Amino acid sequence: MAELLQVQTTAPTREEADAIAGALVDGRLAACVQVVGPITSRYWWDGRVQVAEEWLCLAKTTAARYPQVEAAIRDRHPYAEPEIVALPIVAGSPSYVEWVARETGRR
């Protein structure tokens, strides 16, 4: 089984989230990106607590593609320090795992 990841990031607008999703899927870096939102994020930045409306992107990819996924997100992201975290997908239906690996393996 291919090692799959779910990479997540947030964006300040739906348009920016859609641009990130498009770059990842169109570039075959992710088989699928779900855009969820709006969500409310509360976090520390510049020495104080911030509250912002954001859009969450959940990208399904392989561990081999992670460096390219991170680079593509950073290239398009407006934040100085965007959230880019990868969570392992420890189990999945064999056909879905195969599909993610197949779709991100094409170039």
Residue 11's pLDDT is what? 98
Contact 97, 63 (CB under 8 A): no
Burial environment of residue 12 by CB neighbours within 10 A (0 to 12, 13 to 18, 19 or more) = middle
Residue 107's pLDDT is what? 56
Residue 48's pLDDT is what? 98
CA distance 55 to 18: 9
Per domain, the residue ranges of the chain are 4-105
Residue 37's pLDDT is what? 98
- End-to-end Cα spacing for the chain: 20
Overall CATH class of domain 4-105: alpha beta
pLDDT in tens, the chain (107 residues): 569 999 999 999 999 999 999 999 999 999 999 999 999 999 999 999 999 999 999 999 999 999 999 999 999 999 999 999 999 999 999 999 999 999 999 75
